Amino acid sequence: MGCVLCPRRCNVDRQAGEKGFCQAGWLPRVALADLHFWEEPCISGTRGSGAVFFSRCNLACVFCQNHDISQPGAGEIGEEMDPRGLKDIFFALEAKGAHNINLVSPTHHSKVIAEAIELAKKEGIRIPFVYNSNGYESMETLRFMEGLIDVYLPDLKYHSDDLAMRYSSAPSYFRYATSAILEMARQVGTPVFDSQGIIRKGLIVRHLVLPGHIEDSKAVLRWIKGNLPAGTFVSVMSQYYPVHRALRFPEISRKLTRREYDEVVEECLKIGLEDGYFQELSSASPEYTPDFLRKDPGSRT
Ligand code: SF4
């Protein structure tokens, strides 16, 4: 059957070896599965988030910090996993103490991931599943994830379609991502935390502020304020640094300035978006990005 797992609707038969925009095979490749401590505090907590990084992606962001595993041209990094193998990874992360299973860039493997989650739930996994997505999602995919995902953690990267095309080659990104986020909000609602402040259920919308595009960030925040329920958490990220192909785009080939980030934070507070997270500018550093090419890949768990 042709792949229509994301808005690109490539309609290629991935189970027969055909490749679409994302260049992914049918079975997911897990580039890294380990405890991760650099997500929002309610996700990473004290023991870490059980992050499962999937290779390939349905976006082609010129500034992708995970480009070693996500982009066409990246080698075939990671081991292929069937649903049972993936389910075993989930249990191994739970046994290591992870607060949750954090599915990083899951969209293009959502069918296989859904099977793995069903198996894990049948076998009694206790920690929540986090769908950590770039926001470029189709409604059909989100509908079959309903009931399997506890926490949605989508990006809302751009308001402007011109920026979405220029930097991510993503037609109609804003329309697809906002429809997806409304569906996510319908499924899981605003965040619910346990007694330790760790999220058990709910939606957190992320936005990475890009240098030179502050007005676009403000428009994204205004959409969130105007369209999502009170109590929606927003994570306004300052961790941008120019990597991958970003250096070919002079306007984003630098880090964000404090003044730019402060202006976005001020807008956030001015319009009454008070629940969520801001970031230190010192987060804009490669040391917070996993090294997928290290010789000793550590535990793929
Ligand atoms: S998941 Fe990949 S192959 Fe499928 S529609 Fe999206 S980009 Fe195309």
What CATH number labels 25-288? 3.20.20.70
User: Is ligand 1 within 6 A of the CB of residue 10?
Assistant: yes
| Ligand 1 centroid, distance to 195 Cα (angstroms) | 39
Please name which of 31, 33, 12 lies closest in space to residue 22, comparing C-alpha atoms: 12
Other CB atoms within a 10 A radius of the CB of residue 101 amount to 28
Q: Are 171 and 133 in contact (CB under 8 A)?
A: no
Ligand 1 atom at minimum distance from 12 CA: 3
To 10 degrees, what angle do helices 214-227 and 173-188 make? 40
Question: What is the predicted pLDDT for the residue at 37?
Answer: 94
Radius of gyration of the chain (CA): 18
Would you state the structure tokens that stand for residue 167, as one six-digit string? 């930097």
Residue by residue, DSSP assigns the chain as ----SSTT-----GGGT---TT---SSPEEEEEEEE--S-HHHHTTT-EEEEEES--S---TT-TTHHHHSBTB---SEE--HHHHHHHHHHHHHTT-SSEEEES-GGGHHHHHHHHHHHHHTT--SPEEEEE-S---HHHHHHHTTT-SEEEEB---S-HHHHHHHH--TTHHHHHHHHHHHHHHHH-S-EE-TTS-EEEEEEEEEEPPTT-HHHHHHHHHHHHHHS-TT-EEEEE------TTGGGSGGGSSPPPHHHHHHHHHHHHHTT--SEEE--GGG-SGGGS--TT-SS-----
**Positions of the chain with pLDDT lower than 70, given as ranges:** 71-75, 282-301
| Ligand 1 centroid, distance to 222 Cα (angstroms) | 30
pTM of structure? 0.93
* 224-to-159, 220, 256 alpha-carbon distances in Å: 11, 6, 22
Question: What is the predicted pLDDT for the residue at 72?
Answer: 65
| Ligand 1 centroid, distance to 3 Cα (angstroms) | 6
Ligand 1 atom at minimum distance from 11 CA: 5
Provide the residue ranges of all domains of the chain, joining segments of one domain with +.
25-288
Other CB atoms within a 10 A radius of the CB of residue 200 amount to 15
Q: Which of 1, 5, 27, 29 to mutate to test the pocket of ligand 1 (most atoms within 8 A of CB)?
A: 5
Question: What is the predicted pLDDT for the residue at 294?
Answer: 52
Q: Which of 1, 4, 111, 168 to mutate to test the pocket of ligand 1 (most atoms within 8 A of CB)?
A: 4
